[in-house]
Structure 1
Amino acid sequence: MQAVSQTGLIKEITGGSIITPKGYKTDGVHAGLRYSKKDLGIIISDVPANCGAVYTTSQFQAAPLIVTQESIAFEETIQAVVVNSACANACTGERGIRDAFQMRKWTAKKFDLPEHYVAVASTGVIGEYLAMDKVDTGIQNFQPGIEPAHSDAFQTAILTTDLVMKNCCYSAKIDGKTVVMGGAAKGSGMIHPNMATMLGFITTDANIESKHLLAALREVTDTTFNQITVDGDTSTNDMVLVMANGLSGNTSLTPDHPDWDVFLQLLAKNCESLAKQIAKDGEGATKLIEVEVIGAETVVDARKVAKQIVGSNLVKTAIYGEDANWGRIIGAIGQSSVNINPSSVDIAIGPIVMLKNSVPQAFSEEQASEYLKNKIIHIFVDLNNGKGNGKAWGCDLSYDYVKINASYRT
């Protein structure tokens, strides 16, 4: 059952998902790429959808990204996305490219679509070839639907080392019409984007041209997906893709539309929710860390400092150990490339002020340790050097992270 809660112009639809917007279906199946879990998923729109996508900045972009970029470039329109887990189909040469195109072809034939209406995504181990006979069987077994079980099946099929599914759904009034947007994502390790290092899929029934959708996605990505980090590594495969099928019936959105800012807020809500869920579910993580930096010379500077702090292994291990070592935060700030006044910095962990104008403040270690037992940790920094504000999200660094990544292929 879906419930709606409202904050400002944007309403959260609790229990909503990637199939809550009008005209979308999903499914996930076990094709045999993994031993027992679902490993092949599909999103399909009832009608062709305008789209926008952003991709990993890795110089080793995987074969599925190459195929997806070709699909989108043809008409800036897609109708389906097929996704496999277990095998990244990255660094697989010409065979990998052929396999990604074959996935596109089989999916298009299954659903009677033009081939360029299908996008392809993969996640998993690098340098291994897809078992294409299993992929073919899985695609033939797709039966997309609109029930919660169909959404769960898709979300399960795209996971790798993730512990939980990641999803969200929000709505807003645009032109007097209810526009709905839902999202699903996977991401647990290798999350350090200079774009968006994960697989993220967002569906909406908004009416918006692809060029404007892409511009909106790029703008919102800078403050959401670009501001998360788990381990400082960037993947070969990852992207965020948004589909907009126009079935809500609003007049086409452009930056001149009176409700353009509402659409940006709607997109930002979905992207931030998915980004925070990914950071929280970092491999071996026990805590979500949110860093807010104010008082920087520029917004970009504030974001850089926030991400420097949340990406510091020393900060991450201190948070895991529930040690209020604010010196590690200072160390991270000092490593950043932005202009800092070293005599004017304030630092607080949660409600506990530890540094004021760069002068240490007396605080209760017991109170700080108690605060650090929480699952969500807030770090606040005021550089007192301007009006730029920014946030970043990450997770702590635990023993389990090493265990997971020491035996990832086995």
Structure 2
Amino acid sequence: MAHVTVIGGGVVGLAVARELRVVRGHHVTVLEKENGWARHQTGHNSGVLHAGLYYRPGSEKARMCVAGNASMAAYAREHGVPVSVCGKLVVATDEAETGRLRDLAARAEANGVPARAIGPDEAREHEPAVRCVAALRVESTGVVDFTGVCAAMVEELTRHEADLRLGTEALAVRRAPGRVEVATGTGVVRADALVNCAGLHSDRIADLAGVRPRARILPFRGEYYELRPDRRHLVTGLVYPVPNPELPFLGVHLTRMLDGSVHAGPNAVLALRREGYRWRDASARDLVEVIRFPGTWGLARRHVRTGITETLRSLSRARFAADLARLVPDIGPADIVRAPAGVRAQAVLADGRLVDDFLIELVPRQVHVLNAPSPAATSALEIATRVADRVSSVLN
């Protein structure tokens, strides 16, 4: 069997390693630069098990998310990881949004997602505090402990004697005859193939490997609030707005977590560092890359109004609460408190267009996962199957 090096220890990297080692029997080494697993996108996301209704029919996101909704829930249950498939509401708060809600219902049907249009009275049966003129009830949406999923995968990989290396950053990548070599601070890892699942740094790993990716990563911070404990009763499940179809972000929404807390968000603002979880987290290197990348300016021209709105909401709790109050009118600024933020690795093309689907690029003996934001966590087991298939193709 082949020996494969996987760079990245989030849910996608671990799922790929599991597929290669546990399912297919390859020898696997996983390199993770942090001293723990799932420290970035996986460990900072909203924990939502997505249904797959938002994505373009026939796209990788649509197919993998619908399948991943079932496979991830089944994996969590099999391994004792907390999961709850509680359903959600997507709500139109005025008549102007009902057309987009109908379009979303049609997309859900095309993608095979169980969803049905309901009126405001039935919506309040699910969420008594919600305000809307119409809603879409999506039964297969849920919440899951993705960090727990990663722990279960690590346990499986350990039992199957995979080589798991924390605190091991990939510093250089070299192609050699019949293999790929990765230099780290503790030595060189030699393997038959390389899989890059580095998330926020995936384009940089591709650069190290001599691959010129057709998209670059821009980091978008998603900021969260949560409802104060005495206001959690206002939300019983998940409540989402009707999204802007031109953007991959779903708008600030409300999610009852597995522990009973209710998270609100995220927004989307350009982070000043690849791992910039706060405004004061800044990196000169990262900022220079962002400024020099033509796609940054193309993106700004395309979405200047949205960018201003998101930034103002980031700086104002009152604005954040006002957007939540469109969904649940009883929420006010005093009802929410700051919660930890996440950073989304969003691939952007040189002309400023956002890559709206998963992006995987192949070269001999290498597979690079270059765009895997939401719903990648939901889809991780399906992405792993696809990537493992492609490892076989790059070895031949």
**Fold conserved (TM > 0.5)?**
no
- Structure with a larger share of its residues in helix: 2
TM-score normalised by the chain length of structure 2: 0.26
| Larger RCO (CA within 8 A; separation ≥ 6) | 2
TM-score normalised by the chain length of structure 1: 0.25
